[in-house]
């Protein structure tokens, strides 16, 4: 999924920042909130579609955050 490579990189960079958070739920919530606050709707839609179609290149906390966004857009 070449067309998603930039989004994956950006999302994983956000995840890398929050990965040092000792509480897993706080880290996931931080990634989720960042994507909700700073990504335009089109970008959010693309990353959600990526994960829904089996995309597996996201860090665990990022994938979890994106799944939360998919559940409550």
* pLDDT tens digits, 6-64: 999 999 999 999 999 999 999 999 999 999 999 999 999 999 999 999 999 999 999 99
**Is-contact 61 15, C-beta < 8 A?**
yes
CA distance 42 to 16: 23
Q: Determine the structural domain holding residue 53 and report its residue range.
A: 2-71
Q: How many domains does the chain have?
A: 1
| Residue 2 pLDDT greater than 90, yes or no | no
pLDDT at res. 1:
44
- pLDDT reported for residue 18: 97
Helices (H) and strands (E) in the chain, counts: 4, 0
């Amino acid at each position: 999924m070449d067309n998603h490579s930039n989004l994956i990189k950006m999302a994983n960079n956000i995840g890398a920042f929050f990965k040092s958070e000792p509480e897993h739920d706080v880290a996931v919530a931080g990634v989720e909130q960042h994507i909700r606050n700073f990504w335009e709707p089109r970008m959010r839609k693309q990353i959600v579609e990526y994960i829904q179609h089996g995309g597996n290149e996201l860090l665990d906390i990022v994938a979890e955050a994106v799944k939360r966004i998919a559940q409550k857009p």
